[in-house]
Chains A and B, each alone.
Chain A
């Protein structure tokens, strides 16, 4: 704080300070008024004196003299009165403000972090909060108001002088510059001097205070002499600082005094001569001027002095003010964390997220070094081991950043992308400002308690058990470790229940789960039902109706075995519930029921960012289509399937290459806004008109707003997915630290939708570790009307929570593709059905108690839930669940559950016209050629048509080019989306975004109109994100495509004359032939398929490629044949002059191509070829 502020007088700071006077505004104005009157009266007396001298003494008028003398007396009395008022209230105001200021300062002091006190001396703080504040007070009492009063006085004096005699005035004013200059110099020097004084006073205080309070220690360590000497040193400095101010004072005041005397001398000299010469100047005027000039100079001198007072106050104030806004100084320094605590990626992510610049996790480093030393870690030295640890943590942090969507640590640092669960608002405000904490919870006291408990435990363990530390149990269940909801007993009891159809065993299970959740494991555990209003259970709707609202979670074929996947589907189809395909596509053989009556078709077909196997046929077989915006268990992450699990069968279902690992991209490349989502919903609705479109969201802050948007985007169902759960394949950071419980999300979504009267249009679904009827009941009361289960049905099918799902070694044949292990799968549909039955029955019992006859009646009746009063754990005391349990007050006609269907506005879709005309082709496979004009409001042309073809003819569709459609004009978005095989769709004109989305075997052509005058290969003809998730089929584009061309293409062949950025991203199959520019970041994440690129001069800029996963190669002869064939097609279909040009020059022009080949793909192809050869040899 010894830093000198450059500005002499900081107006802003003063303004800030003046804010503190706001509560006392009346007094403030009163003081100002008395200051004005004071100046008036103090100037009045000398003026009266002048009148007395000139008009009554000199002419010797007695009566007049008495009258004016009385007048003067009155004026003096008034002056004294106002002086009194002014001084009293100015000081009073100062004290009031200081009182407030001090309270606030002390509050800040109390809340500063402990570390602050490690570096700030106590005495200095005392000085600042006691004497500095005092100084601030003097700003008001002496400084500021005095200055104002004095300035006023001076103004009046000057006015009077000029009024009376301008010549004399000029004489007086001639000295002013000298005084002003001297004042200014004095003021600047004094400021510096005072700052020094402040510092020295503080140091002195600090020293004395600390030594006195620690006198015992001083004496114990025999430091008396040393301390004495130090004190003398400090005292000396203190003296010097004060002496400096004395020095300035001693110079300034004489200078000022001399100036005054000189002025008076000049006045007397000039005025006296004038009087004697009988000029216009009277004696009275001279008296007046002498008095007035003194009145003018005194305040001037005083102002300098007052300014000093003000100055000291300012310095103190700047300190306190800066403390107040301390966070705004953040960019000036770095924060290095040195702590024993950080050890997991989450810890590091949190620290960076809250602003750490660097972290020294010394404990982990020490442990690693120790492990190396005792040879538990072998073959590496400690430094490299720590280096490896750091690398691993960094990868973890990158993963977390990737989830959030932040690319650089710089942007992530301090971004605070967290929601606190169970922290008190006070704690969050002090330490994690602006972090949302909706359920309140623990504060510093509880945190301290927890830390000291753990600390104590670590030391207690020593010697009494063979272990230095407890074994833990965060990620693996251990008896004395972290509690898990699914533990040996609950798993065993559930399996026993479903295997033996034993409801008693289920009751043991559900009782344990429900009671366990009360041990602070879930929010719902803190709830209890209230307002019982029992009805006979027979009146509650039957379990067979209830289970129709039950679903199994989205677990892809690939993450779990075909056996387990199909088992769930068969079970759910039998009871009229819905199973979910997950994002891995589905074998078309499952779409029709088997001869034995089993139906392995998943009622819900998921459409995730990877779009694996999303074809017209796949969508057509759905009862519900789910757009996975995110996963509750691992928000922000796509699915991930490690290479070993991608066996040829899985690969075929997903249209990918065997043994190449699959990562779903985090975002949907066709969704960047809510309008895009609405478009995708429209596309899918076209692809299957009977299916409901479901949008899966995760529970998070603001999900209510998102849900409202999604409802307006015409989704039929919204799924709010909670954070519990996730398979053993989920990354550990996601398992423990990502997402929020569904209780928060479903409550927020319900409240928002009801308040906006959108709830009736939408079905609200909820999932995330639903395990019992009680869970379902709570979800329902909070607003859900359909319910998803994942882990529990898997456990019912035999899952024993191995938590090794990513390792392909699941011993019970569920999360594995190993044929040997899959034989171990013992689950039966009956097991899953039994589970659903048990849950429904438990739910019915609760419904009966609460008085609900149907789920519809029960939805959103959150008044039936209370927060449990009985929760005694010290950590549960501060939790406040009222925000979750809030039930919006709305008009009676506003519905709390789904009552109507969305209006998707499909009736005007162009496809219906086409279908009408194309009857022979669609139903009798006759060749047809039809022409239509098209306009940009014709969106998703071809999807309904394809839906009809898929329903009719299944995956094979129609023979090639059976139905040939020619459109003229500008096609709207999603032209040719999911176009099925047998369709030939040609646009003469241009196309909007999403051209050929999910292309499913059709042929799409975009051709520049014949009458066009521009060059096709220099102009954009189709929009962004063309052929996203295309599965099979061909596309020929006579012009340039926008950005993100062929993203996640898994098998389509496309020819285009140039593309924008991010071409062929995440591509896993198919061929892209690009005859022009490619933009930046080409082939990012491309793990399969081939791209051929042409450049007229055969030169390619490597910077434009993302070479992480691909290699650039020359064309083989076989490649050249392929390219030549494609060029011929392109030329035939589109009349492309560029294609014709290249072909004319063949084979010379063939040298100007390169091939972009994904490394993994190449290896996998080699592996498959070798396998094939082995088979032949055998």
Chain B
């Protein structure tokens, strides 16, 4: 399998990109597809390990060595089959996944790991281009009906799986278009929205019913939903944004990232006129929060023509590479430089925002910070200690809060009277099944904010469990957790 000494012969490549200066002029994706031969070589770097840690490190359990080998042998359709056996939407993960698989890659112990995500993306793109990805409607219908609340990756993955098992699936979305965070949370320069649309066409052709602009609990009551459907899957995400409860947080110009980004996406989609409130043009923008959402805010701000963009992160600057605390093959907390960072950013670490400073009109004009350090306490969480005399004031006329989510909204689960766990997420009593046997939960609503790849995984697993609940047995694939890196 693979090429015997491929990993010694070929180096890892990344996708080439359009230069930052040029690409920030629009919201398009800016990657340039590698040549087929280059991709084959990348597949040939795979060592076909006896114990493929990548496969184990992937929450979906993608059969990575197998599709790498197929790509190396130029068998793209076979590769697609292998990929789609575990992953409903490789076009999403191929663009957006932080790729824990690559961190677990054995080659990564000594060399740059196999570019698994790149290969994944181009397998599925090839599949769409060649027309290999076709609707696969079920041949028989079971007569069972399922309502899925929420159309993010978890809801869509579950919908596709359950529909394939023959159930009639209706997906409800309160927003005006299907896709959840995929559509309005992810900026177009990371994933253009036609990528979602072409997948939705497939799903619709397979027989899934989509109902956007319907909010369960308002437009349709929870009771009505329970009456109309055999089972309900909650896949509504974890949408409560974390606040920054410090003086001045009510000032104009202090904006939640998750208001800022959807607004921009809708504007790019031509749905609305840009509101000045969400426009970074010619402003000194400070993005608080160093995660992926923060990074998206940076890219968007630069595209809107911000005067300056600064990023604050409360944690210390991570090391460039893996440290001993994060041994291979586990996920390392190391310095990550995204494409948005390349487009222009000033990054600050170990910094805590103490106060927003406003002017007379109630607009934010600056913010006050202090440097911090983290003290390790054995057996407890690290303690935050402010450094005396490190106070500083920063000019700022737009502050974007990218602080993550605290959990799911409570009202719909409460109306359905399902229980919550300690962290405020919907509790799966038996994995994905809530205390109400016919109500299931999957994705962020159950596990809290997480990765797309986890959302798809949850959707698939929940589908298996729902199918079992409805039919007694299920033939939908299910992954086994034994020996699984991500399970322990």
Give A contacts to B, CB under 8 Å. Answer: 376, 460-461, 463-467, 471, 475-480, 483-484, 486-493, 495-496, 499-500, 508, 512, 516, 519, 728, 798, 800-804, 807, 809, 811-812, 820-821, 824
Contact of A466 with B81 in the complex, beta carbons under 8 Å: yes
Q: Mark B31-45, 1 if CB is under 8 A from A, else 0.
A: 000000000000000
Contact of A480 with B82 in the complex, beta carbons under 8 Å: no
B residues within 8 A CB of A495? 327
Assembled-state Cα–Cα distance A821/B480 (Å):
34
| Chain B residues numbered 90-124 whose CB sits less than 8 Å from any CB in chain A | 104, 106-107, 109-111
Answer whether residue B227 sits at the interface, using C-beta atoms and an 8 A cutoff.
Answer: no
- 15 A-B residue pairs with Cβ-Cβ distance under 8 Å, sorted by A, are A465-B86, A479-B56, A484-B483, A488-B56, A489-B487, A492-B327, A499-B327, A512-B488, A800-B51, A802-B51, A809-B8, A811-B109, A811-B110, A812-B109, A824-B110
Answer whether residue B53 sits at the interface, using C-beta atoms and an 8 A cutoff.
Answer: yes
Q: Which residue of chain A lies nearest to B83 when distances are taken between CB atoms in the complex?
A: A466
| Chain B residues numbered 473-488 whose CB sits less than 8 Å from any CB in chain A | 475-477, 479-480, 482-485, 487-488
Q: Which residue of chain B lies nearest to A492 when distances are taken between CB atoms in the complex?
A: B329
Assembled-state Cα–Cα distance A316/B488 (Å):
68
Q: Mark B125-161, 1 if CB is under 8 A from A, else 0.
A: 0000000000010010000000000000000000000
Assembled-state Cα–Cα distance A480/B477 (Å):
10
- Assuming the contacts A476-B49, A804-B50, A811-B7, asked whether A488 and B327 have C-beta atoms less than 8 A apart, the reply is no
A residues within 8 A CB of B78? 376
Q: Which of B60-68, B337-345, B385-393 contacts A (4 or more CB under 8 A)?
A: B60-68
Answer whether residue B4 sits at the interface, using C-beta atoms and an 8 A cutoff.
Answer: yes
- Assuming the contacts A476-B48, A488-B485, asked whether A467 and B81 have C-beta atoms less than 8 A apart, the reply is yes
B residues within 8 A CB of A807? 4
Contact of B479 with A800 in the complex, beta carbons under 8 Å: no
Contact of B85 with A488 in the complex, beta carbons under 8 Å: no
Assembled-state Cα–Cα distance A461/B474 (Å):
11
Contact of A466 with B5 in the complex, beta carbons under 8 Å: no
A residues within 8 A CB of B50? 475-477, 728, 801-804
B residues within 8 A CB of A812? 106, 109-110
A residues within 8 A CB of B75? 376
Answer whether residue B183 sits at the interface, using C-beta atoms and an 8 A cutoff.
Answer: no
- Assuming the contacts A489-B484, A499-B327, asked whether A471 and B51 have C-beta atoms less than 8 A apart, the reply is no
Answer whether residue B330 sits at the interface, using C-beta atoms and an 8 A cutoff.
Answer: yes
Q: Which residue of chain B lies nearest to A468 when distances are taken between CB atoms in the complex?
A: B81
B residues within 8 A CB of A465? 84-86, 477
Contact of A500 with B324 in the complex, beta carbons under 8 Å: yes
Count chain B CB atoms within 10 A of each CB in A463, A480, A489, A491 and give the residue with the most: A489
Answer whether residue B263 sits at the interface, using C-beta atoms and an 8 A cutoff.
Answer: no
Assembled-state Cα–Cα distance A478/B484 (Å):
10
Contact of B61 with A480 in the complex, beta carbons under 8 Å: yes
Q: Say how far A735's CB is from chain B's closest CB, in angstroms.
A: 11
Assembled-state Cα–Cα distance A807/B50 (Å):
13
Contact of B136 with A802 in the complex, beta carbons under 8 Å: no
Answer whether residue B283 sits at the interface, using C-beta atoms and an 8 A cutoff.
Answer: no
> Told that A489-B483, A802-B106 touch, could you supply 7 new A-B pairs with CB distance under 8 A?
A461-B475, A461-B477, A463-B136, A466-B82, A476-B52, A477-B55, A800-B53
Contact of B51 with A804 in the complex, beta carbons under 8 Å: no
Q: Say how far A240's CB is from chain B's closest CB, in angstroms.
A: 60
Q: Say how far B124's CB is from chain A's closest CB, in angstroms.
A: 12
A residues within 8 A CB of B407? none
Assembled-state Cα–Cα distance A491/B109 (Å):
14
Contact of B66 with A471 in the complex, beta carbons under 8 Å: yes
Contact of B47 with A480 in the complex, beta carbons under 8 Å: no
Assembled-state Cα–Cα distance A488/B328 (Å):
11
Answer whether residue B456 sits at the interface, using C-beta atoms and an 8 A cutoff.
Answer: no
Assembled-state Cα–Cα distance A508/B488 (Å):
9
Q: Say how far A449's CB is from chain B's closest CB, in angstroms.
A: 15
Assembled-state Cα–Cα distance A479/B51 (Å):
10
- Assuming the contacts A479-B55, A496-B327, asked whether A488 and B484 have C-beta atoms less than 8 A apart, the reply is yes
Q: Say how far B35's CB is from chain A's closest CB, in angstroms.
A: 22
Q: Say how far A472's CB is from chain B's closest CB, in angstroms.
A: 10
Contact of B483 with A479 in the complex, beta carbons under 8 Å: yes
Q: Say how far B134's CB is from chain A's closest CB, in angstroms.
A: 12
Contact of B8 with A800 in the complex, beta carbons under 8 Å: no
Assembled-state Cα–Cα distance A807/B83 (Å):
28
A residues within 8 A CB of B63? 471, 478
Answer whether residue B180 sits at the interface, using C-beta atoms and an 8 A cutoff.
Answer: no
Q: Say how far A1104's CB is from chain B's closest CB, in angstroms.
A: 41
Answer whether residue B164 sits at the interface, using C-beta atoms and an 8 A cutoff.
Answer: yes
- Assuming the contacts A460-B475, A478-B63, A492-B485, asked whether A467 and B49 have C-beta atoms less than 8 A apart, the reply is no
- Assuming the contacts A460-B475, A490-B483, A500-B324, asked whether A477 and B164 have C-beta atoms less than 8 A apart, the reply is no
Q: Which residue of chain A lies nearest to B482 when distances are taken between CB atoms in the complex?
A: A483
B residues within 8 A CB of A487? 51, 56, 482-484
Answer whether residue B366 sits at the interface, using C-beta atoms and an 8 A cutoff.
Answer: no
Assembled-state Cα–Cα distance A800/B52 (Å):
9
Contact of B330 with A492 in the complex, beta carbons under 8 Å: yes
Answer whether residue B165 sits at the interface, using C-beta atoms and an 8 A cutoff.
Answer: yes
Answer whether residue B57 sits at the interface, using C-beta atoms and an 8 A cutoff.
Answer: yes
Q: Mark B4-17, 1 if CB is under 8 A from A, else 0.
A: 11011000000000
Answer whether residue B80 sits at the interface, using C-beta atoms and an 8 A cutoff.
Answer: yes
Assembled-state Cα–Cα distance A1122/B5 (Å):
44
Contact of A477 with B51 in the complex, beta carbons under 8 Å: yes
A residues within 8 A CB of B329? 488, 492
Please give me the 4 A-B residue pairs with the lowest Cβ-Cβ distance, nearest first. Answer: A803-B50, A487-B483, A488-B56, A466-B81
A residues within 8 A CB of B136? 463
Contact of A800 with B327 in the complex, beta carbons under 8 Å: no
Assembled-state Cα–Cα distance A463/B84 (Å):
11
Q: Say how far B387's CB is from chain A's closest CB, in angstroms.
A: 30
B residues within 8 A CB of A464? 164-165, 475-477
- Assuming the contacts A488-B484, A811-B106, asked whether A499 and B47 have C-beta atoms less than 8 A apart, the reply is no
Contact of B488 with A493 in the complex, beta carbons under 8 Å: yes
Q: Say how far A1035's CB is from chain B's closest CB, in angstroms.
A: 44
Assembled-state Cα–Cα distance A477/B106 (Å):
14
Q: Mark B459-480, 1 if CB is under 8 A from A, else 0.
A: 0000000000000000111011
Partner of A491, one of B8, B51, B110: B51
Assembled-state Cα–Cα distance A376/B479 (Å):
28
Assembled-state Cα–Cα distance A512/B484 (Å):
11
Q: Mark B420-461, 1 if CB is under 8 A from A, else 0.
A: 000000000000000000000000000000000000000000
Contact of A809 with B4 in the complex, beta carbons under 8 Å: yes
Q: Which residue of chain B lies nearest to A477 when distances are taken between CB atoms in the complex?
A: B51
Assembled-state Cα–Cα distance A820/B111 (Å):
12
A residues within 8 A CB of B52? 476-478, 488
Partner of A820, one of B8, B48, B485: B8
A residues within 8 A CB of B48? 476, 804
Assembled-state Cα–Cα distance A499/B330 (Å):
14
Q: Which residue of chain A lies nearest to B87 when distances are taken between CB atoms in the complex?
A: A466
Assembled-state Cα–Cα distance A807/B48 (Å):
12
Assembled-state Cα–Cα distance A728/B56 (Å):
20
Q: Say how far B86's CB is from chain A's closest CB, in angstroms.
A: 8
Assembled-state Cα–Cα distance A471/B81 (Å):
12
A residues within 8 A CB of B4? 807, 809
Assembled-state Cα–Cα distance A812/B109 (Å):
8
Assembled-state Cα–Cα distance A320/B56 (Å):
59
Q: Say how far B43's CB is from chain A's closest CB, in angstroms.
A: 16
A residues within 8 A CB of B55? 477-479
Assembled-state Cα–Cα distance A803/B106 (Å):
12
Contact of B482 with A516 in the complex, beta carbons under 8 Å: yes
Contact of A809 with B66 in the complex, beta carbons under 8 Å: no
- Assuming the contacts A466-B80, A508-B488, asked whether A488 and B104 have C-beta atoms less than 8 A apart, the reply is yes
A residues within 8 A CB of B104? 488
A residues within 8 A CB of B483? 477, 479, 483-484, 487-490, 512, 516
Assembled-state Cα–Cα distance A694/B203 (Å):
68
Count chain B CB atoms within 10 A of each CB in A465, A466, A821 and give the residue with the most: A466
Count chain A CB atoms within 10 A of each CB in B5, B7, B477, B484 and give the residue with the most: B477
- Assuming the contacts A471-B66, A811-B107, asked whether A479 and B484 have C-beta atoms less than 8 A apart, the reply is yes
